[in-house]
Amino acid sequence: MTSLVGLRTVTGFLIMAWRAARPTEAREGIDERSALFATGRLTASVHARIPLDDAVKAHEILDARANLGRVLLVP
């Protein structure tokens, strides 16, 4: 049987506070992700590309939490 005493939760995590407290680790993480993205090993999932003139539709998707990736507005 597993003990529940060792379980932890995180409440109110702020990425900016973490970055300020650990700038070296934050920079290393950014560098690693940038390299992965540049080599194509990390990609962004795009749910929709919507013309800027139809920005209302993009907001509707986001408000409904219906997206499974980024919602991009294109000029």
Domain ranges of the chain: 15-74
| Structure confidence at residue 15 (pLDDT) | 85
CB 69 within 8 A of CB 44: yes
pTM beyond 0.95, yes or no:
no
CB 47 within 8 A of CB 70: yes
| Structure confidence at residue 4 (pLDDT) | 58
* Beta strands per DSSP E along the chain: 46-51, 70-74
Name the token pair of 13. Answer: 């995590």
CB 48 within 8 A of CB 67: yes
**For 12-56, what is each residue's pLDDT tens digit?**
778 888 899 999 999 999 999 999 999 999 998 999 999 999 999
